[in-house]
Amino acid sequence: MKYVLMFIETEQFARQLEEMGELEQRQAYEAVGRWFADHAEVITHHVHLAPVHTATTMRLDGAEPIVTDGPYMEGKEVVSGFAEVEVADLDEVLKLARSWPACPIVEIRPVS
């Protein structure tokens, strides 16, 4: 079964990462790299998104599309990346998500 894990960054997490020294930051990024390497057999695709301030939003619910700079909505939590995985079931993807070493929230959705 395929799932997408969306890695959600909070303002507090971003602040903590920013306040880390260079060595601590490198170790944090290395932990993420190890997580991807350790689970490479089930990860079919993954991506790290550019910061939320780089987003462009297009609204298609009016007569004409409206394009604005910035995210769909301002929030204290933003999706910073995602991974698509193929595993046996929800229990397996929950186990995988529990081991995520970075952002404090992981939203999991089945892929249809």
Confidence of residue 75 (pLDDT cuts 50, 70, 90): confident
pTM exceeds 0.75 = yes
Q: What is the mean pLDDT of residues 86-110?
A: 97
Q: Which residues contact 25 (CB under 8 A, 6 or more apart)?
A: 17
Domain that holds residue 52: 2-110
Confidence of residue 76 (pLDDT cuts 50, 70, 90): confident
Number of Cβ atoms within 10 Å of the Cβ of 93: 23
Q: What is the pLDDT of residues 42-54, one digit of tens each?
A: 999 999 999 888 9
Q: What is the CATH number of the domain that holds 27?
A: 3.30.70.1060
In the chain, the number of structural domains is 1
pLDDT at position 88: 97
pLDDT at position 70: 78
